Amino acid sequence: MTHKTPTPDTLDRLAAVVGGKHAIRNTAEMDGYMREWRQIWVGRSPMVLRPGSTGEVSRILAIANETGTAIVPQSGNTGLCGGQTPTDDGHEVLLSLDRMTRIIDVDANDNTITVEAGATLKSVQDAAAAKDRLFPLSLASEGSCRIGGNLSTNAGGLNVIAYGNTRDLCLGLEVVLADGRVWNGLKRLRKDNTGYDLRNLFIGAEGTLGIITAAVMKLYPRPKSHETAFIAVPSPQAAVDLLSLMKELSGNRVVAFEIIADFALEITIRHAGARHPLASSSPWYVLAELADPVRGAMEALLESALEKGLVTDAAVAQSDSQRAAFWSCRELISESQKPEGGSIKHDISVPVSRVPAFLEQADAAVSQLIPGSRFVSFGHMGDGNIHYNVSQPPGMDKTAFLDSWNAMNDVVFDVVAKLGGSISAEHGIGRLKAYRMPKIKSAVELGMMRDLKRMLDPNGILNPGRVLPE
Ligand code: FAD
């Protein structure tokens, strides 16, 4: 059964589950749920449901499953792939987790935090910090994104090099299945070898297999000190070698290792008021951070790197404000691209050792496609994850440049495939890249994914068309 336009009777039954106040039908009130912040994905829906409990989510899905009503789960609405906003045909009902925000439990001995799916990432970090623990997931959207969305996209962010992706931070889940059954898998176990790992099916599934309503996440001791350096390196290969050296000499205390192209730094200075942390320019920079290092460890290892020719200049932050200034050079890049005209973005990963080859080959391929393109390459080099953003040539018509979005994706993704990489490192597939799945997955892999979808959601009501093309 494919999903149908919900009848007035179905909408009334769904609204009765949450109560009139939490079933929004007024277009103006629904607006914030219908569009994401860049206005790229804008949709329509007959109703927004805001359940307050797992029981209510369960009753909603049971009705939706019976009536063939498509449901789009939404947490913080910061996703970048069109997964959390409805299509514009007005058939899909939006289910927001924004009332399910409870921090259920923080256990400093088990090093766990149990939360409802609508808790914002920031509130989870703060609740952990209040018990002197670290919840290490950190994204620029952390004030708005919610843990259900982080899990459903398997979000990455700044500290993956040390603590892993959201998947690695999760111990247990509670999930409502398409037919309304509730799976309570809220375990705190570090070891549990009892058969198939169901939890991992729902992580990164972008709401296509079930709705996550609560989770148990891992906590860590809070680092007592950091050493942060802004480093000039002659090439991406030098950055790869520097990363190996840093891991080795620091005793694996590297918690961030971001690469920044000179042009990316230049535009943050030009448009966002960032200050150059070094006296002169270099083709590439690395922003690196050690947690709880032996005092002076950063300076010692930079000296060693200087001797090896891996580093040409560096500044080590002497205060919290200098550390924040270094980080702002990284965090302001995306917004600094806007005044440079059109920009075509890619969130790719390759094995760390192949980042230099990726940058060289992708730059060559894109330059051939659109001569004069400018490369705003930056990102989580320590994870092999580059935000490969291309700004239009100066003077080119913006619309003409953006019209080549798919053609540019094609040439970049060809390089990614050749190097054994992934076309989505951390943002997911959503509607944006679903059509590419048959190209990037083998028939066996795609077949297993479709079988799982059919088994867990036989009526296709959960986020149709996301991840798997219809
Ligand atoms: P939403 O946008 O609401 O949803 C995302 C997807 O998950 C959708 O498909 C939705 O249907 C599904 N979903 C949501 N909640 C549930 C649920 N409870 N159960 C089942 N499915 C659900 N991402 C990174 O990985 N790393 C970054 O560094 C990063 N930086 C960002 C910076 C900015 C400024 C912005 C705007 C975004 C950034 N993102 C980043 C992308 C985004 O913040 C992440 O994908 C985040 O994890 C999405 O969480 P959310 O709560 O906003 O989810």
Tell me the pTM. Answer: 0.95
Judge if 210 and 149 occupy the same domain. yes
What's the Rg (C-alpha) of the chain?
A: 23
Judge if 132 and 45 occupy the same domain. no
What angle (nearest 5°) sits at the alpha carbon of residue 325, between those of residues 322 and 327?
Answer: 115
User: 108 is in which domain, residue-wise?
Assistant: 103-221
Judge if 255 and 322 occupy the same domain. yes
For the chain, how are helix, strand and coil distributed in percent, rounded to 5? 40, 20, 40
Whether residue 456 lies inside any domain: the answer is no
Mean pLDDT of 279-287: 97
**In a mutational test of the pocket of ligand 1, which residue from 141, 201, 385 has the highest number of ligand atoms less than 8 Å from its CB?**
141
Locate the ligand 1 atom nearest the alpha carbon of residue 72 and give its number. Answer: 11
Ligand 1 neighbourhood includes 152 CB (under 6 angstroms): yes
Whether residue 261 lies inside any domain: the answer is yes
Judge if 306 and 406 occupy the same domain. no
Q: Is the pLDDT reported for residue 1 higher than 60?
A: no
Give the model confidence (pLDDT) of 122-175 as tens digits: 999 999 999 999 999 999 899 999 999 999 999 998 899 999 999 999 999 999
Q: Is the pLDDT reported for residue 61 higher than 60?
A: yes
Biggest CA–CA distance in the chain, Å, is 74
**In a mutational test of the pocket of ligand 1, which residue from 84, 169, 431, 466 has the highest number of ligand atoms less than 8 Å from its CB?**
84
Whether residue 467 lies inside any domain: the answer is no
- The CA-atom distances, in angstroms, between 421 and each of 351, 415, 440 are 7, 9, 10
Which helix or strand (DSSP H or E) is residue 442 part of?
none
Domain boundary among 84, 99, 114: 99
Domain boundary among 204, 221, 238: 221
CB atoms near residue 464 (< 10 Å): 21
Mean pLDDT of 209-217: 98
The CATH code of the domain that includes 279 is 3.30.70.2190
CB atoms near residue 7 (< 10 Å): 12
Q: Domains in the chain: how many in total?
A: 4
Ligand 1 neighbourhood includes 404 CB (under 6 angstroms): no
Give the model confidence (pLDDT) of 374-410 as tens digits: 999 999 999 999 999 999 999 999 999 999 999 999 9
Task: Name the nearest CA neighbour of 176 among 144, 146, 215.
Answer: 215
Whether residue 202 lies inside any domain: the answer is yes
Answer whether 11's CB lies under 8 Å from 469's CB: no
Domain boundary among 270, 301, 335: 335
- Which pLDDT band, with edges at 50, 70 and 90, does 35 fall under? very high
Exposed / middle / buried, residue 348 (Cβ in 10 Å: 0-12, 13-18, 19+): buried
Judge if 38 and 75 occupy the same domain. yes
pLDDT the model gives residue 468:
96
pLDDT the model gives residue 2:
60
Q: In what order do the strands lie in the sheet with 23-24?
A: 23-24, 48-49, 93-96, 71-74
Whether residue 159 lies inside any domain: the answer is yes
Ligand 1 neighbourhood includes 212 CB (under 6 angstroms): yes
The CATH code of the domain that includes 140 is 3.30.465.10
Judge if 58 and 107 occupy the same domain. no
In whole angstroms, give the CA distance from residue 429 to residue 217: 24
